[in-house]
Amino acid sequence: MPELITDFYRQNEWANLALIETCRALDDEQLDATAVGTFGSIRDTLRHIVSSEGGYAYRLGNEPSLRLQRDDPWPGFDALAEMMSAAADALAGAARDATDRTIRVGSDAEPYDVEAAVILVQAFHHSTEHRSQVLTILTTLGIEPPELSAWDWGLAVDRMRRA
């Protein structure tokens, strides 16, 4: 049986990669579309999700093979998918090996001491929130969004079967 704690990050990876795959078919105008109440354009939100996941993994002491920096240009879908999978591997490993250690985050002017568990929960929550925003934008464009629920993940990875 797979490790329960890593399932959260594997489902998160699966949903993020499915969203990236859906967005590959979009043209530049659609990728630059946004909607009220969302983070920004589809392109900016995907970049933000991937960048943040790498940042969370980095804070936990796991350096994904590639990580977007704040000012990096749009890397393309292949690079996004590669970075997403590297971050998922790092986050799943960090979750498996989590301790009650405290990590210093923030700026020198406003530092925070954060338990590792808070960063792990934030990584999962953050992607879920922003995926929802991209799905909203897709819907406003008249594009059928992918099904990204845990139920769909269970079916996709053969952890749930029709009786």
Task: Tell me the pTM.
Answer: 0.91
Q: In 3-state terms, what secondary structure has residue 103?
A: strand
> Mean pLDDT throughout 39-50?
95
Q: Please give the structure tokens belonging to residue 10.
A: 């594997």
Residue 13 has pLDDT above 90, yes or no: yes
> Mean pLDDT throughout 144-159?
94
Percent of the chain with pLDDT over 90: 68
Domains of the chain: 4-156 (1.20.120.450)
Residue 1 has pLDDT above 50, yes or no: no
CB atoms within 10 A of CB 22: 18
Give the chain's mean pLDDT.
90
d(CA 128, CA 28): 24
Range name among 43-47, 64-68, 146-150 with the lowest pLDDT average: 64-68
Q: What is the dihedral of CA 76, 52, 5, 82, to 10 degrees?
A: 20
